[in-house]
Amino acid sequence: MDTIYTSGGEVYHAAVFRILFIGDIVGRPGRRAVREILPVLQEKYEIDFVIANGENSAHGAGHTVKTSNEIFDSGVHAITSGDHLWDNREVIQLLKNEPRFFRPLNYPSGVTGNGAGIVLAPNGIKVGIINLQGRTFMKPLENPFHAGMEAATRLRKEVQVVFVDFHAEATAEKICMGRFLDGHVSAVVGTHTHVQTADESIFPKGTAYLSDAGFTGPHEGVIGREADQAIHRFLTAESKRLEIAARDVRLQGALVDVDETTGKALKIQRISEPVVSFEEQIRRAEAAKESVRVSRIQDLINPTLVF
């Protein structure tokens, strides 16, 4: 799409390529949010390409072929992952057979799957995708900075638009990656903490940045899990599987506008859209019925006179 942007007081037209990145999808509620909200967002924002981190999509831990296909069928064009990559054994099928599925690039050489590659958008634009995993307070993988720069340099020989999902714990490590890749990629957006940050910005050389996109799933609990169970773990140190929460389901992420001719980011905007629950739909329907009933009663009490 063509959009008017301002820079330094000057107004110019840019051929804009709009990306929606969806933060960590958690379990069935998260997949439901993608299925129900994504079509609305696509129509509202005229989105060209959708990337989603799906590492918690299979009951909160890892990926399966079924859940990944459900996410693809909902309108997502590429899925990234993180430290829960190996929680389901069948992920190996995705790594071997699905070119739209990405694992962290900085695993040791020889590990199955792709950590960087190109996916074709429906409008014909080639999108470079890089999936990286941090090392601070996380498993010690290879250096993501070296891997990220090498991949960015390689991809930019073929494409202009390059998006990085940096799955990391430490905010400082994420910011350093954004600064390090500034001007080499279109966007660096963090995942993993499940808490959406408010530091979205465009760095000086044209890279959009956000420390964490948040998560897509139930927000009433503790980062997607049942609150009572999470609290119990902290009180007792018992390591039990935490069940997925159910209420206050939201789709969180970021919209990034990229100049498709230069690959530079023009705008980044946080997204946090609620799913209307079945109970809320009933409440609204009943309220609408009550409104009609009251209106009819008022018409009987105060009939409109026609002369």
Is pLDDT at 47 greater than 70 in this prediction?
yes
For 207, how many CA atoms within 13 A lie in the half-sphere containing its CB? 23
Provide φ and ψ at 298, rounded to 5°. -65, -35
Is pLDDT at 199 greater than 70 in this prediction?
yes
Active site residue 63: no
Contacts of residue 122, Cβ cutoff 8 Å, sequence gap at least 6: 48, 49, 77
- Name which of 60-74, 137-151, 234-248, 249-263 the model is least confident about: 234-248
- CA-to-CA distance for 147 and 149, rounded, in angstroms? 6
Q: Which two tokens stand for residue 227?
A: 């609150």
Tell me which of 3.60.21.10, 3.40.50.2300, 3.40.50.2020, 3.50.90.10 is the CATH number of domain 2-275. 3.60.21.10
Q: Which two tokens stand for residue 96?
A: 């071997």
Q: Which two tokens stand for residue 302?
A: 């105060």
Contacts of residue 48, Cβ cutoff 8 Å, sequence gap at least 6: 1, 17, 18, 19, 121, 122, 123, 125
Q: Which residue has the higher pLDDT, 67 or 242?
A: 67
For residue range 206-241, list pLDDT tens digits in order. Answer: 999 999 999 999 998 998 888 999 999 999 998 888
- CA-to-CA distance for 161 and 261, rounded, in angstroms? 9
- The band of 19, judged by pLDDT with boundaries at 50, 70 and 90, is very high
Is pLDDT at 290 greater than 80 in this prediction?
no
Collapsing DSSP to helix, strand or coil, 38 comes out as helix
Q: What's the pLDDT score for residue 306?
A: 47
For residue range 99-120, list pLDDT tens digits in order. Answer: 999 999 999 999 999 999 999 9
Residues 84, 192, 194, 219: which is the catalytic one? 84
For residue range 21-30, list pLDDT tens digits in order. Answer: 999 999 999 9
